[in-house]
Amino acid sequence: MSTPTVGVLALQGDVREHFAALSAVGAQARAVRRPEELAEVDGLVIPGGESTTISKLAIAFGLLEPLRERVRAGMPAYGSCAGMIMLADKILDPRSEQETVGGIDMIVRRNAFGRQNESFEAALEVAGVDGGPVEGVFIRAPWVESTGARAQVLATYDGHPVAVRQDRLLATSFHPELTGDHRVHALFAGMVRTTLG
């Protein structure tokens, strides 16, 4: 089995936790802060954090356009929470000057499940993840308002899509990297491996 090199966008957010989860599923994790580091990875995780801050830092570090180009060219990417927002083609309620990488034909609503003190956990059935429910940790999480024809909803909570896949792109509203359950990362690592042949 090949060992994919998976970058973690290390501008802001829970980078260390994704490193640990990727290592646990047999991927080599590397921090990505500059375009030349992005060019060296087979796939990319965009972690949770603050989507507006990640957007502004990606622009400041000269990463936004290279990210868009790699995603358009077929690089696998996985976004959790703020990362889901970054992979959405459209944000329903963007902050001023907030931009996304895009790639998934969906509209997301920021902080849809409430503020920090309204964080919660829920057991979720996620299509493509075997072995029973995944524990979803929702922290100021977005939800998906709507998806286009090419986007596949993998999980819902309270009637809203919270996990979506489109081709080589995967996004979750929740944070699997915080639970010690690495099955979502295993799903993504498998997506990256298929691109390596």
**Residues designated catalytic:** 81, 175, 177
Q: Report the distance separating Cα 150 and Cα 140, nearest Å.
A: 27
Q: Report the distance separating Cα 161 and Cα 64, nearest Å.
A: 26
**Structural tokens at position 3:** 């060992």
Pairing of strands 5-9, 160-166: unpaired
**Structural tokens at position 190:** 């498998």
Q: Report the distance separating Cα 121 and Cα 168, nearest Å.
A: 27
Cβ proximity of 103 and 86 under 8 Å: no
**Structural tokens at position 43:** 């796939």
**Structural tokens at position 184:** 């979502």
Cβ proximity of 104 and 151 under 8 Å: yes
Number of Cβ within a 10 Å radius of residue 183: 18
Contacts of 14 by beta carbon, 8 Å cutoff, 6+ apart: 47, 48, 49, 175, 177, 178
